Structure 1
Amino acid sequence: MRNVYLGTSEFAAVVLRALADSAHRPQLVVTRPDAKQGRGQKLAPPPVAVLAAELGIPFIQPEELHSEETLGAIAAASPEVLTTCAYGVLIKEPLLSDYEMINVHPSLLPRWRGAAPIERSIMAGDAETGVAIMRVTAGWDSGPVYALGREPIRADDDYGTLVPRLEELGARLLVQVLDERPTPVEQDEAGVTYANKIGPRERALDPTQTPAEVERTIRALRPHIGSRLKLPDGTFLGVIDARVDGPTRAPAGGLVRTDGLRLLLDCHGGALEITEVRPPGGKVMPAADWLRGQRDEKLTNFRFDPALPDRPLDEVLVTAKREWRDPEDEWQPHVCALAARGDADTLTAMTVLAGDEDPELRELAAYVLGQLGTTTPALPAEQESALRDMAARESNPHVLSAIICAFGHLGGTAGHDWLLAQRAHADAYVREAVAFALGGRRGEDTLAALIDLSADEDPKVRDWATFALGTLAEADNPALRDALAARLDDPDEDTRMEAVHGLALRGDERAEAPARDLLAGRESLDDSVWRRHLLDETASHLDGD
């Protein structure tokens, strides 16, 4: 079948060779001009030009595909069809109307339309990928599909190991389509995903991803693009290989650390061990060898900026919303980034989000408004004002609870009058938040509210209030002690332990008998870290007596 072939890359060269060995040997090859390549940046012809010359097939390398000269050269070949693979230029009219144009696209369309389908399939953890033989239309890889070929993605596949299999599959499938001429089938738009071009930022290891996601990205970019780790001195350590390691010291991600001769990156929810690297200007080596040669600990043990300053606020907010809605996402690095930014732009964004119709997103807004600046409120007056505005119009118990907790994080007297008014709220979730927020605050009104809440009908409210009275309150008076003593026989075990602990700290004799009972039966108790702490501290005060 007479055809003109358009292609440029190594992948396209494999397809060209298959065409040349078939009944569909191209009459003309169109490829891209010579380009600078490699470290030396010397001009070199593209792989398709090299192969066309070897095969003795006429080829042209136009600067402009749609110029009259190029269109004339294509027409002079009298093709029945145009075939293409990885040509590298958007194909437009009149070529689309004048010819049937058949393209080799390395994905299972409609999944992964676009420029980087192989990389994206590995990065996403797809179990399989493949090749689609499709008709080129004005849309972005949206034309009807003549044939699909499937290829499993192995657990250890990288770009370099997967591409050769897809090259052979694509070449074979294109020849088959030209032989059999099947009727193309329109793509299902419901299954469309896009494989955007790999940007420079995606080369950098992203600790806000899970270890598995980072490891897949390393494989997806190996060996042609390459992943890298930015070091504190501004240089980049090339990352060749890594493996998911296990526990992390920084669950939200962002800590680079060493463990002997192991180089670890704490990611979102787990650790990644970097096993093979390329130092700046150096050769590939085991990470252990690189660590042996390092004398500057600052280059091997450091923390990423949790505010993610290289990312636009809008992008961080989009991901933060997704994290907030995900019940399985415990650490939420992009939510943490919003809080860490602590600037007026983030405050404004949260003020807008506070008016969203989705209560979950209003909860997110309240949380960040309380945490803005992380350990120290960045804009305390503005944060309190925004939270008060939210409180004045809010009725959803879960959002109210988030607002109350946010006031608690701001500390001091933030929202104090409003907090006190919520202690009688009908929803226990709200009252529990009030007990949390008042913990550690001073004043007779705070103490009175916590004493009331320590007798609440809900055990979680009683537990928080009793903890606030017994452990956090600086006051020590008969009313407080009596409130704690009233909880010594509380049906809730946690509340009882908090009451015993609070009285023991104050040397109140009413704690001794129930404390010794608890200590005697501690083997049968749930051995949580906090319970062990309470019992140990209670025992130390009893022994001190």
Structure 2
Amino acid sequence: MRVIFAGTPDFARVAFERLHAAGFVIPLVLTQPDRPAGRGMKLQASPVKRFALEQGLPVAQPRSLRLDGKYPEDAAAAKAVIDEARADVMVVAAYGLILPQWVLDAPRLGCLNIHASLLPRWRGAAPIHRAIEAGDRETGVTIMQMDAGLDTGDMLLVAPVPIEESDTTGALHDKLAVLGGRLVVEALELAACGGLRPVKQPQAGVTYAHKIDKTEAAIDWSQPAEVIARRIRAFDPFPGASSVLGGETLKLWSAEAVSGPADGREPAGVITAVSPAAVDVRCGRGLLRVTQLQRAGGKRLAVADFLPGFDMKPGMTFVSPSS
């Protein structure tokens, strides 16, 4: 089988490595253009591009695939190499560009997408974050036949994964990346012998995982403690949940909702207890027990290591976005 691979971040790289190891012929790799990153803001190749170059595979990095769009010369060049690849199928994983109809139609078997949710729940850009934030008990990977809609294509293979109480987006991402790589190899092996059975997505249960915005990082202490704890896990490693204390913005990386004295004794955001083990903060309902924090420009630290460098006492108040 000749497989074009289209992807950009680490989630895609894991599947790419699995496909390569399985022995599929990969005549072309599509990935996003190099982006500035790091302290020096130097151009950095994507994880997918780096692996492709290590394996000596041809790479194309169009800014757009729309022949009538802003970069028609990029799209035309991409069309030429896609046509030349004579692919049986294209595998897409977190690529970052919309595929127009000509791309969907180019491979003999069309384009298969590795989507990190149990469709139709959490269509869209940030399914892992939103599943944790919403308190879902499970998520998974869906291998989907791509169409012109937003994650609306027929489901080909589905595998669930439980969401543990301790799972952050980073931890769950790694589990789903490995599962996605295994599942897409299985899908291609079935496709090679005509064994895939497309299933229409149900109309009920559709939700959309909107892209994460940095403005969502600010903690609203009027919310219940369990909601805030989920958001802290959902926003780890990006963008990180944050709040202002003593005029300084701190990131909170690890916390859990705990039972405490009756609600309403202190305003939301007030620190009720400080110890080397944790910092308790009053929420709209319940207490949030914080165990890992970070100052701007500093490292993530357990509370015992954080307190010697920051004067934190009961009665101090974290500032909510509306304050």
Q: Which category of TM-score, normalised to the shorter sequence, fits these structures?
A: 0.7 to 0.9
- Per the alignment, residue 263 of structure 1 pairs with 279
Instruction: String of CA shifts for 1:440-462, please: whole Å, max 9, x gaps.
Output: xxxxxxxxxxxxxxxxxxxxxxx
CA contact (8 A) 1:37 1:43 kept: yes
CA contact (8 A) 1:145 1:186 kept: yes
- Per the alignment, residue 490 of structure 1 pairs with none
Asked if 1:126 corresponds to 2:153, the answer is: no
CA contact (8 A) 2:146 2:153 kept: yes
CA–CA separation in structure 2 for the residues paired with 1:252 and 1:55: 60
Asked if 1:301 corresponds to 2:300, the answer is: no
- Per the alignment, residue 71 of structure 2 pairs with none
- Per the alignment, residue 18 of structure 1 pairs with 18
- Going from structure 1 to structure 2, the CA distance change for 1:168 and 1:25 (only over 3 Å counts) comes to farther
CA contact (8 A) 1:252 1:268 kept: no
Query: Relative to total residues, which structure has the larger helix share, 1 or 2?
Result: 1
- Per the alignment, residue 162 of structure 1 pairs with 172
- Per the alignment, residue 103 of structure 1 pairs with 113
Matching of residues 512-527 of structure 1 within 5 Å: none
Matching of residues 61-460 of structure 1 within 5 Å: 61-66=61-66, 67-99=75-107, 100-181=110-191, 182-233=196-247, 235-247=248-260, 250=264, 254-261=268-275, 262-295=278-311, 301-302=316-317, 304=319, 309=322
- Going from structure 1 to structure 2, the CA distance change for 1:276 and 1:77 (only over 3 Å counts) comes to same
Residue 192 of structure 1, CA deviation? 0.7
Residue 265 of structure 1, CA deviation? 2.3
Q: Which has the higher contact order (CA 8 A, sep 6+)?
A: 2
Could you say what the CA RMSD is over the residues aligned between the two structures, in angstroms?
A: 2.2
CA contact (8 A) 2:243 2:319 kept: no
Give the 3-state SS of the residue equivalent to 1:88 in structure 2: coil
Structure 2: which amino acid aligns with 1:246? S
Give the 3-state SS of the residue equivalent to 2:222 in structure 1: coil
| Greater C-alpha radius of gyration | 1
Residue 294 of structure 1, CA deviation? 3.2
Residue 39 of structure 1, CA deviation? 3.2
CA–CA separation in structure 2 for the residues paired with 1:183 and 1:200: 40
CA–CA separation in structure 2 for the residues paired with 1:132 and 1:251: 47
CA–CA separation in structure 1 for the residues paired with 2:306 and 2:177: 36
- Per the alignment, residue 69 of structure 2 pairs with none
Give the 3-state SS of the residue equivalent to 2:283 in structure 1: strand
- Per the alignment, residue 537 of structure 1 pairs with none
CA contact (8 A) 1:251 1:267 kept: no
4+ long deviations beyond 4 Å: 295-298
Query: Relative to total residues, which structure has the larger strand share, 1 or 2?
Result: 2
Structure 2: which amino acid aligns with 1:38? G
CA–CA separation in structure 1 for the residues paired with 2:264 and 2:25: 58
CA contact (8 A) 1:251 1:268 kept: no
CA contact (8 A) 2:214 2:239 kept: no
Q: Percent identity?
A: 37
- Going from structure 1 to structure 2, the CA distance change for 1:252 and 1:26 (only over 3 Å counts) comes to farther
Number of residue pairs the alignment of both structures matches? 306
Give the 3-state SS of the residue equivalent to 2:226 in structure 1: helix
Residue 269 of structure 1, CA deviation? 1.3
Which ranges of structure 2 fall in alignment gaps of 5 or more residues?
Answer: 67-74
Asked if 1:6 corresponds to 2:6, the answer is: yes
Give the 3-state SS of the residue equivalent to 1:268 in structure 2: coil
- Per the alignment, residue 27 of structure 1 pairs with 27
CA contact (8 A) 1:107 1:117 kept: yes
Give the 3-state SS of the residue equivalent to 1:3 in structure 2: strand
